[in-house]
Amino acid sequence: MNCEAKNTIPTVDLSPFFNGDENERQLATDTIAEACQTYGFFRIINHGIPPKLLSQALDLSKQFFALPDVDKQKVKPMEGSKGLLPAGYARQPEHSKDKNEYFLVFVPDFGLNVYPDQPTEFKRVIEDCYTRLEEVASLIQEIINNFMGLPPNFLKEYNQSRNMEFMTALRYFPATETENNGLSAHEDSNCLTLIFQDDVGGLEVLKDADWIPIEPIEGSIIVNLGDIIQVLSNNKFKSATHRVIRKATHRHSFSFFFNLDGDKWIEPLPQFTTDIGESPKYRGFHYEEYIQLRARNKTHPPSKPEDVIHVTHYSI
């Protein structure tokens, strides 16, 4: 695959959704719709989150990850912490091809979140970022709802529970002479993901057999669609394959995962199937079943690439 692709993901100015007119909002919506069909990725600017807050979060995460391992390990998940990814500090297991460590939080009022004593501002800034990213994700979801031609507030009501969304601060280790994989090629299993990163780079999206670098731009946020939107739209809008390539130095980033509740039933919507005479490309499934299958990719890595679980597991 060619890694020197010259094209890049679109950049969308969200300011019209705060203070613009209807024509400007429609132009931005059309750009996002095209990006979701072509790339599954786009960049947003003027999204309502102060760039200073994003920079502060990155700086504090750098301070946290620079602590001795013994101090980071103190911020371990509490007993009874939920889910496949419990809140707190962790690093990828030795057998994993992914070489990173991370700090995970759920919604700010979730009782099993844990925070370090140092840096002192870490909890406040992380929770502020979380709340603001959730607001931006809700706006993006509303925009997606509109260009998908769905009834008003359909996605908002379908995805009203915040029980399974979470945010991670990540640190990728420097590349070695023989290995540079930071995060293996994959698609996100959720509705959508918001990412902001430092100036190191390394995030790439796959398009037409080319790996396209997502260059860092301070204050911007990367948005990528997840498998849920791809299934609901019967493949009209894509959940893009992406990866992280390690560089010569540590890379820091944050990812906010806008997830469905586990009991949700997922199948192609009639607007993309029966209403237009198209056959569904997926059989229906519960979200929790799918994320458990996806988790096995990590806990029990398949020996053959074709055995890795993707949403195509449900293809008809």
- pLDDT digit string, tens, across residues 91-107: 988 878 899 999 999 99
* CA gap 42, 36 in Å, rounded: 8
Would you say residue 79 lies in a domain?
Answer: yes
- Evaluate whether 104 touches 87 at the Cβ level (below 8 Å): yes
What residues are paired with 169 via a beta bridge? Answer: 103, 254
Q: Dmax over Cα atoms in the chain, in whole Å?
A: 59
Q: Could you give the number of structural domains in the chain? A: 1
- Please report, as a single letter, which amino acid is at residue 163: N
pLDDT score at 2: 38
For residue 169, the SS3 value is strand
* CA gap 118, 226 in Å, rounded: 34
Would you say residue 6 lies in a domain?
Answer: no
pLDDT score at 7: 74
- Please report, as a single letter, which amino acid is at residue 301: P
pLDDT score at 83: 58
pLDDT score at 163: 83
pLDDT score at 81: 60
Would you say residue 128 lies in a domain?
Answer: yes
Would you say residue 203 lies in a domain?
Answer: yes
Would you say residue 5 lies in a domain?
Answer: no
Would you say residue 2 lies in a domain?
Answer: no
DSSP designation for 78:
P
What H or E segment, with its residue span, contains residue 212?
strand 210-213
Torsion sign across C-alpha atoms 135, 141, 146, 151: negative
Given a cut of 70, the residues of the chain with pLDDT beneath it are: 1-6, 80-84, 303
Structure tokens at 298: 């990590």
What residues are paired with 168 via a beta bridge? Answer: 104, 255
DSSP H helical segments within the chain, as ranges? 16-19, 22-38, 51-65, 69-72, 122-147, 154-158, 227-232, 287-299
For residue range 24-78, what is the model confidence (pLDDT) as tens digits?
Answer: 999 999 999 999 999 999 999 999 999 999 999 999 999 999 999 999 999 988 7
Q: Which residues contact 287 (CB under 8 A, 6 or more apart)?
A: 228, 259, 260, 261, 262, 263, 264, 266
Domain that holds residue 268: 11-314
DSSP designation for 3:
S
CATH of the domain at 93: 2.60.120.330
Would you say residue 233 lies in a domain?
Answer: yes
Query: Between the CA of residue 289 and those of 9, 128, 258, 286, 293, what are the distances in Å?
Result: 32, 31, 17, 5, 6
For residue 56, the SS3 value is helix
pLDDT score at 84: 60
pLDDT score at 82: 53
| Prediction pTM value | 0.94
Q: Which residues contact 169 (CB under 8 A, 6 or more apart)?
A: 57, 61, 64, 65, 102, 103, 126, 252, 253, 254
